[in-house]
């Protein structure tokens, strides 16, 4: 069964489901987000955002008691982003209604955008236009070309005492623009 508790000890499995390298990184991210996540107002359609945007005026989460903890809500959001499970699948795996899974996902996506947008800064559009490569000059609506790559390298033990150990993999991920 897929649950945070069941996969947190295995970094390879944790990375497969969430895209984060370890449970420790996940908890660090959650610890950063938790103080503001405690007051999330959950998505209930466009009117819920227009009337009362994600608010800090509450001291606790507004609405009824939730079945999932905030940490589990972040977890299912990352799982959906990483492996693209359908809402019905997420709902079945976590024992919630598909509408609840959808509400959680939309809420957390908006919240993560607000909280983490400073980690990915893009230059001003005018600056991008002046620095455009000549090959892209005919594409007037293209402001940015992004590419992501991952490089992995296995390091095999050298000394005879370490020869029984499994190779260690170092991975670097690059986001180019």
Q: Could you tell me if 108 and 22 lie in one domain?
A: yes
Q: Could you tell me if 8 and 73 lie in one domain?
A: yes
Q: Could you tell me if 129 and 86 lie in one domain?
A: no
Q: Could you tell me if 89 and 158 lie in one domain?
A: no
More confident residue, 85 or 122: 85
End-of-domain residue from the set 119, 135, 152: 119
Q: Could you tell me if 106 and 60 lie in one domain?
A: yes
Range of the domain at 29: 4-119
The 10 Å Cβ neighbour count of residue 76 is 26
Contact 18, 75 (CB under 8 A): yes
Q: Could you tell me if 72 and 137 lie in one domain?
A: no
Mean pLDDT of 129-149: 76
Q: Could you tell me if 48 and 83 lie in one domain?
A: yes
Handedness of CA 95, 96, 101, 102 (dihedral sign): positive
Tell me, what's the pLDDT at 53? Answer: 45
Q: Could you tell me if 114 and 131 lie in one domain?
A: no
pLDDT band with cut points at 50, 70 and 90 for residue 20: very high
Radius of gyration of the chain (CA): 21
pLDDT band with cut points at 50, 70 and 90 for residue 17: very high
End-of-domain residue from the set 80, 102, 119: 119
Q: Could you tell me if 115 and 129 lie in one domain?
A: no
Q: Could you tell me if 51 and 115 lie in one domain?
A: yes
Q: Could you tell me if 66 and 139 lie in one domain?
A: no
Specify the pTM: 0.65
Strands in the chain per DSSP E: 147-155, 168-176
Q: What tokens appear for 46 in the block?
A: 């466009």
Domain count along the chain: 2
Mean pLDDT of 140-164: 70
Q: Could you tell me if 101 and 132 lie in one domain?
A: no
Contact 17, 82 (CB under 8 A): yes
End-of-domain residue from the set 101, 119, 137: 119
């Amino acid at each position: 069964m897929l649950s945070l508790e069941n996969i947190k000890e295995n970094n390879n499995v944790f990375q497969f489901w969430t895209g984060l390298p370890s449970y420790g990184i996940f908890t660090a991210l959650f610890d950063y987000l938790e103080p503001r996540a405690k007051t999330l107002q959950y998505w209930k359609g466009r009117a819920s955002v227009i009337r009362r945007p994600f608010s800090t005026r509450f001291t606790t989460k507004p609405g009824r008691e939730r079945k999932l903890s905030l940490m589990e809500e972040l977890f299912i959001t990352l799982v959906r982003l990483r492996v693209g499970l359908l809402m019905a699948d997420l709902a079945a795996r976590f024992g919630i209604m598909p509408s609840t899974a959808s509400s959680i996902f939309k809420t957390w996506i908006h919240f993560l955008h607000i909280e983490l947008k400073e980690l990915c800064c893009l230059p001003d559009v005018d600056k991008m236009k002046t620095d455009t490569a000549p090959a892209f000059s005919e594409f007037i609506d293209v402001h940015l070309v992004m590419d992501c790559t991952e490089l992995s390298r296995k390091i095999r033990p050298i000394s005879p005492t370490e020869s029984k150990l499994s190779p260690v993999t170092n991975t670097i991920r690059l986001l180019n623009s």
